[in-house]
Amino acid sequence: MNEPTVINTIVDQLRQQGCGIGPDEYEADLIGAGLNSVTMVRLLSVLEEEFDVEFAVARLFREPVTVARLAAEIVSQHGRAVTLP
């Protein structure tokens, strides 16, 4: 799994929820750009399921939530995964 693939999935999910976003907006605060809280919760839920991750919501919302931050968090969580024999 790589960050560009994750970003594409996030952007696709945003489009499915009626929020188009271009590459120049990947660092933009999604809430500040007009994404409402209900749509944000749906997005996070879908991403958690899609990528088998869990967002620490309180920590996540301490800073602006952006496509780039979400992708980095997902990739980071997969990098920390431990495979047991």
Residues 13-46: pLDDT tens digits?
999 988 888 999 999 999 988 889 899 999 999 9
Confidence band (pLDDT; 50, 70, 90) for 73? very high
pTM for the full predicted model: 0.88
Own/partner contacts of 6-14, CB < 8 Å, gap of 24 or more, are: 6/51, 6/70, 6/71, 6/74, 6/75, 7/67, 7/68, 7/71, 9/47, 9/50, 9/51, 10/43, 10/47, 10/67, 10/70, 10/71, 11/67, 13/43, 13/46, 13/47, 13/50, 14/43, 14/67
83 pLDDT more than 50: no
pLDDT at 80: 66
